[in-house]
């Protein structure tokens, strides 16, 4: 008996989680894509194995007409394509109707990076503010400043992704996804595709780490392995990290919204400006393909163009 569509999707999501080890955020996006697919099939009274390429092309066009961006449509089609490919291996579908269907092309925006001055302003350690009168913990301000400063130093100084930073444990262990080697001045992280890499940790980050560790022990819950913890003593979440960076940017007087990946972009851009070594930047970022890293050469060119416009006599327009 052929499983019902919900059963198929549930089994496929379990395959993606256990066998492919996709990140929770990716699984959530794929689950949304499968809900859209189920809605389209229900509207046309189609079983999943009966879906044809012309159905998929029409549905993609509807998503585009509804205002969904090219990147989001591409993610949706990728999820559908993987589902039908899995169904084929399981003997539940004879064709993959998504093969050959592509999302509409859209302009690829350059990653946003801070200037060197802005990054330094954000990473400069600020004195802890007095705890609010109604704070449940009078020690909140000192540990909060130390933790946030350490996180910024690692994001900007080592180019870590948000998940890599939050996955760090205090020490290496059988269950640790990542950890910091204080003596070796290295961070061992688990990146995309469950690929491990080692990145250097600078002296400023090590100093910030020592300051944070002095306060973390009294804050972390018993048995908590996470390096970065919240006020409740448990591993910090991605939402909490984004909120803290947003507030830090405001406190530093930066004229732009700052998110974790912007610090990674800034790390790559500034390192490439200084060294010009694209391969080294690729290794430090953990990019599988050099083409992913090459986008930062465009940022580097923008920097050089600004310098040229400001300094070269031939770049100045006549009055």
**277 and 166, same domain (yes or no):** yes
Q: Are residues 253 and 192 in the same domain?
A: yes
What the block records as the tokens of 34 is 């499968």
Length of the chain: 319
Q: Are residues 120 and 219 in the same domain?
A: yes
Q: Is 287 considered catalytic here? A: yes
Q: Do 167 and 296 sit in the same domain of this protein?
A: yes
Is 264 one of the annotated active-site residues of the chain?
yes
pLDDT score recorded for residue 40:
94
The number of distinct structural domains making up the chain is 2
Return per-residue pLDDT of the chain as tens, 319 residues: 344 456 888 899 999 988 888 888 889 999 999 999 999 999 999 999 999 999 999 999 999 889 888 889 999 999 999 999 999 998 988 999 999 898 877 656 656 778 888 888 888 765 555 555 444 444 457 899 999 999 999 999 888 999 999 999 998 888 888 898 988 999 998 888 788 888 889 999 999 999 999 999 989 999 999 999 999 999 999 999 999 999 999 988 887 889 998 898 888 888 877 777 778 778 788 777 777 666 666 555 454 445 445 554 544 544 4
Residue 17 sits in a domain whose CATH number is 1.10.150.130
Structure-token match 């070594």, residue found: 277
In a domain, 311, yes or no: no
Q: Are residues 63 and 142 in the same domain?
A: no
| End residue of a domain, out of 70, 89, 108 | 89
Query: What's residue 308's pLDDT?
Result: 44
Domain boundary among 72, 89, 106: 89
- On whether residue 276 sits in a domain, the answer given is yes
Annotation marks residue 261 as catalytic:
yes
Do residues 167 and 263 share a domain?
Answer: yes
What pLDDT score does 281 carry?
76
Given the residues 161, 235, 244, 270, the one annotated as active site: 161
Q: What is the structure's pLDDT at 288? A: 73
Pick the catalytic residue from 57, 139, 182, 192.
Answer: 192
Does any domain span residue 109?
no
- CATH assignment of the domain containing 152: 1.10.443.10
Residues 80, 208 share a domain: no
Residue 235 to residue 221: CA distance in whole angstroms: 9
Same domain, 84 and 121: no
* Catalytic residue (choose from 235, 264, 265, 270): 264
Same domain, 127 and 269: yes
Q: Is 112 a catalytic residue?
A: no
Closest by Cα among 84, 249, 71 to 152: 249
Give yes or no: residues 68 and 216 share one domain. no
CA 303 from chain centre, in angstroms, equals 24
Is residue 318 included in any domain, yes or no? no
Any domain includes 264: yes
Please tell me which residue in 197, 207, 242, 261 is annotated as part of the active site: 261
pLDDT of residue 295: 67
Q: Answer whether residue 235 is part of any domain.
A: yes
Q: Read off the tokens for 247.
A: 């507030």
List the catalytic residue out of 147, 156, 216, 296.
Answer: 296
Tell me which residue range forms the domain holding 251: 116-306
Residues 148 and 66 in one domain: no
pLDDT at 2: 44
Residues 6+ apart with CB under 8 A from 253: 121
Structure confidence at residue 39 (pLDDT): 93
């Amino acid at each position: 008996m052929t499983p019902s569509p919900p059963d198929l999707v549930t089994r496929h999501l379990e395959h993606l989680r256990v066998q492919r080890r996709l990140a929770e955020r990716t699984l959530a996006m794929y689950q949304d894509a499968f809900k859209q697919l189920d809605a389209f099939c229900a509207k046309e009274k189609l079983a999943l194995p009966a879906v044809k390429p012309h159905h998929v092309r029409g549905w993609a066009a509807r998503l585009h007409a509804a205002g969904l961006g090219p990147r989001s449509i591409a993610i949706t089609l990728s999820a559908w394509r993987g589902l039908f490919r899995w169904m084929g291996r399981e003997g539940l579908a004879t064709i993959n109707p998504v093969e050959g269907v592509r999302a509409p092309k859209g302009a690829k925006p350059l990653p946003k990076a801070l200037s060197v001055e802005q990054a330094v302003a954000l990473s400069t350690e600020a004195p802890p503010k007095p705890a609010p009168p109604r704070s449940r913990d009078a020690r909140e301000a000192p540990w909060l400043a130390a933790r946030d400063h350490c996180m910024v130093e690692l994001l900007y100084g080592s180019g870590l992704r948000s998940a890599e930073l939050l996955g760090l444990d205090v020490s290496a262990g059988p269950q640790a996804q990542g950890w910091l080697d204080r003596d070796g001045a290295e961070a061992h992280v688990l990146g995309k595709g469950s690929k491990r890499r080692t990145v250097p940790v600078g002296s400023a980050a090590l100093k910030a780490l020592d300051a944070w560790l002095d306060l973390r022990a009294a804050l972390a819950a018993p048995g908590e392995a996470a390096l970065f913890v919240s006020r409740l003593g448990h591993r910090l979440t991605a939402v909490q990290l984004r909120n803290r960076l947003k507030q830090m940017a405001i406190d530093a007087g930066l004229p732009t919204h700052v998110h974790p990946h912007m610090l990674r972009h800034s790390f790559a851009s500034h390192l490439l400006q200084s060294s010009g070594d694209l391969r080294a930047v690729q290794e430090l970022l953990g990019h599988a393909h050099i083409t992913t890293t090459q986008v930062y050469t465009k940022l580097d060119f923008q920097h050089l163009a600004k310098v040229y416009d400001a300094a070269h006599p031939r770049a100045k327009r006549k009055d």
